[in-house]
Amino acid sequence: MKGLWNSASIIPVTLCFILLSIYYLKDVLAAPTMHFLCRPEQRDTLLALENEFHIGKLNYYCQPERIDSHRKTESWGNNSDCCSWKGITCNAKSREVVGLDLRCSFLHGRFHSNSSLQNLPFLTTLDLSFNDLTGQIPYWIGNLSNLIYLSFSGNHFSGRIPSSIGNFFHLTSLYLSNNHFTGRIPSSVGNLFHLTYLDLSDNQLSGQIPFSIGNLFHLTLLVFSSNQFSGQIPSSIGNLTQLTFLQLSNNQCSGEIPSFFCNLNQLTTLDVQRNMLSGNFPIALLNLTGLSALSLSNNQFSGVLPPNISSLSKLMDIDASDNAFTGTIPSSLFTIPSLLFIGLSDNTLNGTLEFGNISSPSNLLELAIGNNNFKGPIPRSISRFVNLWRLDLSPFDTQGRPVDFSIFSPLKSLEDLDLSYLNTTSTIDFNDILSYSKSLSYLDLSGNHVSTTNKISVADHRHIA
Ligand SMILES: *[C@@H]1O[C@H](CO)[C@@H](O)[C@H](O)[C@H]1NC(C)=O
Ligand SMILES: *[C@@H]1O[C@H](CO)[C@@H](O)[C@H](O)[C@H]1NC(C)=O
Ligand SMILES: *[C@@H]1O[C@H](CO)[C@@H](O)[C@H](O)[C@H]1NC(C)=O
Ligand SMILES: *[C@@H]1O[C@H](CO)[C@@H](O)[C@H](O)[C@H]1NC(C)=O
Ligand SMILES: *[C@@H]1O[C@H](CO)[C@@H](O)[C@H](O)[C@H]1NC(C)=O
Ligand SMILES: *[C@@H]1O[C@H](CO)[C@@H](O)[C@H](O)[C@H]1NC(C)=O
Ligand SMILES: *[C@@H]1O[C@H](CO)[C@@H](O)[C@H](O)[C@H]1NC(C)=O
Ligand SMILES: *[C@@H]1O[C@H](CO)[C@@H](O)[C@H](O)[C@H]1NC(C)=O
Ligand SMILES: *[C@@H]1O[C@H](CO)[C@@H](O)[C@H](O)[C@H]1NC(C)=O
- DSSP letter (8 states) at residue 335: G
**Ligand 2, pocket-test mutation among 45, 112, 116, 119, most atoms within 8 A of CB:** 112
User: Cβ(449)–Cβ(429) under 8 Å?
Assistant: no
Rounded to the nearest angstrom, the distance between the alpha carbon of 357 and the centre of ligand 8 is: 6
| For ligand 4, atom 4: residue with the closest CA | 236
**Ligand 5, pocket-test mutation among 262, 263, 286, 313, most atoms within 8 A of CB:** 262
Closest-lying ligand 5 atom to the alpha carbon of residue 311: 5
| For ligand 2, atom 6: residue with the closest CA | 114
User: Cβ(276)–Cβ(252) under 8 Å?
Assistant: yes
pLDDT of residue 454: 57
Between vectors from CA 301 to CA 296 and to CA 303, what angle results, nearest 5°?
A: 125
pLDDT single digits (tens) 172-230? 899 999 999 999 999 999 999 999 999 999 999 999 999 999 999 999 999 999 999 99
With CA atoms as reference, report the closest residue to 223 among 465, 16, 366: 16
pLDDT of residue 75: 78
pLDDT of residue 19: 41
Q: How would DSSP label each residue in 117-161?
A: GGG-TT-SEEE--SSEEEEE--GGGGG-TT-SEEE--SSEEEEPP
Pocket, ligand 4, Cβ cutoff 6 A? 214-215, 235-236, 238-239, 260
| For ligand 2, atom 5: residue with the closest CA | 114
Closest-lying ligand 9 atom to the alpha carbon of residue 423: 1
pLDDT of residue 94: 86
C-alpha 53: how far from chain center: 32
* H and E: helices and strands count for the chain: 3, 32
Q: How would DSSP label each residue in 57-94?
A: PPPGGGGGGGGG---GGGGTTSSS-GGGSTTEEE-TTT
pLDDT of residue 25: 42
User: Cβ(73)–Cβ(105) under 8 Å?
Assistant: yes
With CA atoms as reference, report the closest residue to 86 among 146, 127, 147: 127
How deeply is 343 buried, as exposed, middle or buried, from its count of CB atoms within 10 A (0-12, 13-18, 19+)? buried
C-alpha 253: how far from chain center: 17
pLDDT of residue 65: 60
pLDDT of residue 225: 97
pLDDT of residue 361: 80
User: Cβ(324)–Cβ(298) under 8 Å?
Assistant: no
pLDDT of residue 57: 81
| For ligand 8, atom 11: residue with the closest CA | 357
Query: CA-CA distance, 195 to 365, in Å (whole number)?
Result: 37
| For ligand 8, atom 5: residue with the closest CA | 359
Which residues, given as ranges, of the chain have pLDDT below 70? 1-36, 64-70, 78, 454-465
Closest-lying ligand 8 atom to the alpha carbon of residue 360: 5
